[in-house]
Amino acid sequence: MDEEDKLSVLYASDKFKVSYGEFIRFLDGVKMSTTCPHCGTSDSWTVFTGSAIGKDQEFLTAYKMPIAGTTYYRLCFSMSCENCGTFRSIYANRVVEWVKENPELPQ
């Protein structure tokens, strides 16, 4: 398997089940900027949750991003700026890895 194949995945919905809260922890944990790179608006993003049929609103929607010239794809989670509509995609594998490596501490 070459390097590109290692980065592409077969979809397994349970593997990519990330809650809204876990995603916000990820964004805070990696110190991702919430300022829109296009319009400069800060902290005004919509994170897409649920499925096409509206189930599981607590969990993020995973989107397939096709890899040109192949039958492979990568999965991402998406969010958009409420002001200008800029669309930001976050690589789902990295979010899932981070959540596993950084479990929420009991309160």
Q: Which domain holds residue 46?
A: 17-101
Q: Is residue 11 part of a domain?
A: no
Q: Is residue 8 part of a domain?
A: no
Model confidence pLDDT, tens digit, residues 64-89: 888 899 888 889 999 999 999 999 99
Q: Is residue 34 part of a domain?
A: yes
pLDDT band at 50; cut points 50, 70, 90: confident
Residue 15 has a pLDDT of 80
Mapped onto helix, strand or coil, the DSSP state of residue 80 is strand
Mapped onto helix, strand or coil, the DSSP state of residue 75 is strand
Q: Is residue 4 part of a domain?
A: no
Task: Count the alpha carbons within 13 Å of 64 in the hemisphere toward its beta carbon.
Answer: 13
DSSP string, 31-74: T---B-TTT--BS-EEE-BS-TTS--TTBBPEEEEEPTTSS-EE
- The count of structural domains within the chain is 1
Q: What CA–CA distance (Å, rounded) separates 85 from 88?
A: 9
